[in-house]
Structure 1
Amino acid sequence: MTATPPDADVLLSVRELGVTLHGVPAVSGLAFDVRAREVLAVVGESGAGKSLTARALLGSAPRGALVTGSVRLRRTPGSYDELVGAPASVLAALRGRRTALVPQDALSALSPVHSVGDQLVAAVRSVARVSRMEARARAVAALDRVGIADAARKARAYPHEYSGGMRQRAVIAMATINEPDLLIADEPTTALDPGLQEQVLRVLGEQREAVGAALVLVTHELGTVRDHADRVLVMYAGRQAEQGPARRVLDHPAAPYTAGLLASLPPGRSGGRSARRRLPTIPGAPPAFDRLPPGCAFAARCPLADDRCRREEPRARTVGDGHEVSCHRWEDVPRPATELFLERSV
């Protein structure tokens, strides 16, 4: 099945994406575009549905999940493939060639019984008819590009012989070695210290630019988004809270939830805002997917919530150039928006 989104520059077009797990809607109504070479950061607290969304984009949602809506990937200018409902053989053919995943846990993603080089060779030969010698040369070059010293020797090593940062670089090399159009990085800096996190994100960005790929970056580290993303999609309880150009969303959030995330960042991580004596927090915790309240899912934690919020689910509305928010009370969010949660700080 093919279709053409309105903008021919769109690489990935997502409309009304939903994911139901065991009869429970875990992701609902997501709609966004990713343009060629663009970086979209998908952010939110743990349990927001970010990783589930990423897997649905790749056609690899958990067994038993029902994916609905539309996910269209550009094949050629003006021609798009529909991924929702596509046969498993079609989806498998896309992975590694036109799409690739940088996973959260590099150690689990790499086989412990094969050298890193052999796994890269297998990735090359799965999409290209080249000799093993040529594939080995590409594997070594890929490791060298991601900053692994003495790449020829390290290619013969096994994953357990790599440090955590090196393993993450290796999976970036594997994801980009066949120059896909779309990369999806699912929490690629989990369990790494802050210094390594920045290094890995820098390497990921360099490799994305080198192969000309677009990137969907799934992260809960909102403080890293400013320097690494063009656009931001903020998720809460499997729904869109806000999306738009990264700097606009970070500097002028329209959703109370986005404001709370930014206010909760430690001093120095929220785009240069001055340090405060007290660190604001969002009260409470996100609701479970099988116990979503009526109305806005964030209402119980929102200082601005009123009866309408608790009764009627908000729909996305445009509040600026490319800037959307799903909130009834967005016009009442103060400036700076982070002050909204200051009185609730601890």
Structure 2
Amino acid sequence: MESEALLSVRDLRIAFAGVEAVRGLSFDVRPREVLALVGESGAGKSLTARALLGMVPEDATTSGTVTLLGDTDLAAQRGLHIALVPQDALSALSPVHPVGDQLAAAVRSVARVSRKEARARAVAALDRVGIPDAARKARAYPHEYSGGMRQRAVIAMATVNEPDVLVADEPTTALDEERRDQVLRVLGEQREALGAALVLVTHDMDVVRDHADRVLVMYAGRLTELGPADAVLGRPRAPYTAGLLASLPEHDAPRRRRLPALPGTPPAPGTLPPGCAFAPRCPLAADLCHREEPEPQEVEGHLVACHHWAELPHPAVDLFQEKQHASS
């Protein structure tokens, strides 16, 4: 892991009632990069993202370290050096206060400035994300904004204090393709303008392909694969990554082509099988996989947690396509 890291996570573990939902996760976020966290529902992506901001639920037990700019006091840095772009823009904004007042309050929570200065920064932030007539719209309430404008407003709130790291938790969920692209464009423009890093939680591999520099694939609370996005998507080394990619439609493929699907479902925390958690669903699983959980190892620039990565064919998605064909 590079010493140039802006944010470092080491052996992060998050448990509820003694059951671990995030299990020994370690990774770095580098300056200005886009790191995507990918995996099926229940993989621990959103919980990990919240841990980066010191926002783990009160009933959780945590261990390991998260260090931002050399400091482990995440609560003190939240809103100033690291900020969240939440999934649900409507619930993220208070319905009883004008949008501009909410952004101004975010400014004054971390900076000793006058109300007038905080207001000016709020209007400027709304203007930067493309909200027309920002001074007037700053006086409006969230219900007076369109859905797309609310999405822009929460990006403005996250960026108003010019943080070093943005954490976007599924920011495009339930959006149509056009609005998804608009939100990602605005988010990318703000990240570039600030020179900030972005941790992007998503289940959309097309978003990863188009926007991420590196990708961390999670399964059952652990790292499965981590590496440059083009390398991981172009030649995955973990069977789980290959299975995710195999289930994506190809843009030039016939519409009637049956997409392969990962067999089974991810295990719930507390119901993990012995050995590799993915073994019951993996076409390459052997006796070793059912006995010993693989540790991440460096493989051609990737980190891969798999006993049999060397046996994965290229292209790896063929393994799942062939299995689907054989079972049909």
Cα deviation 1:46-88 (Å, max 9, x = unaligned): 11100011111111101111111111111xxxxx1124xxxxx
The alignment's C-alpha RMSD in Å is: 1.6
Aligned: 1:339 with 2:322: no
Normalising by structure 1, we get a TM-score of 0.90
Q: Moved runs in structure 1, 4+ residues, more than 3 A?
A: 272-276
2:126 aligns with one of 143, 147, 151: 143
Q: Superposed, which structure 2 residues align to 1:99-114 within 5 Å?
A: 99-114=82-97
| Structure 2: segments with no counterpart, 5+ residues | none
Match of 1:329 in 2: 308
Look up the equivalent residue of 2:300 and give its one-letter code.
G
Deviation, 1:7, is 3.9
Measure how far apart 1:129 and its partner are.
Answer: 2.3
- What's the offset of the Cα at 1:107? 1.1
> How far apart in 2 are the matches of 1:47 and 1:164?
27
What does residue range 162-241 of structure 1 map to in structure 2 within 5 Å? 162-241=145-224
1:3 is matched with none
The alpha carbon displacement at 1:215 in A equals 1.0
TM-score when normalising by structure 2: 0.95
**Aligned residues of 2:38 and 2:218 also touching (Cα < 8 A):** yes
Give the secondary structure class of the aligned counterpart of 2:270: helix
CA distance in 1, matches of 2:35, 2:16: 25
- 1:314 and 2:294 equivalent? yes
Q: Which secondary structure state, in structure 2, belongs to the residue aligned with residue 225 of structure 1?
A: helix
How big is each residue's C-alpha offset from its partner over 1:260-292, in whole Å with a ceiling of 9 and x where there is no partner? 111111222xxx788772211101110111100
Work out whether residues 53 and 75 of structure 2, in 8 Å CA contact, stay in contact via their aligned partners in 1. Answer: no
Q: Identify unmatched segments of 5+ residues in structure 1.
A: 1-5, 75-79, 84-90
Q: Offset at 1:110?
A: 0.7
The 1:231–1:273 alpha-carbon spacing in structure 2 relative to 1, beyond 3 Å, is farther
Does the 8 Å contact 2:17/2:60 carry over to 1?
A: yes
Q: Output aligned runs, 1:92-131, within 5 Å.
A: 92-131=75-114
Asked if 2 retains the 8 angstrom alpha-carbon contact of 1:97 and 1:127, the reply is: yes
Question: Number of residues paired by the alignment?
Answer: 325
Q: Between the two proteins, what is the percent identity of the paired residues?
A: 71
Give the equivalent residue in structure 2 for 1:81: 71
Which secondary structure does the structure 1 equivalent of 2:55 belong to?
Answer: coil
CA distance in 1, matches of 2:89, 2:48: 19
Name the SS of the counterpart of 2:217 in structure 1: strand
| Shift of residue 93, structure 1, vs aligned partner | 2.3
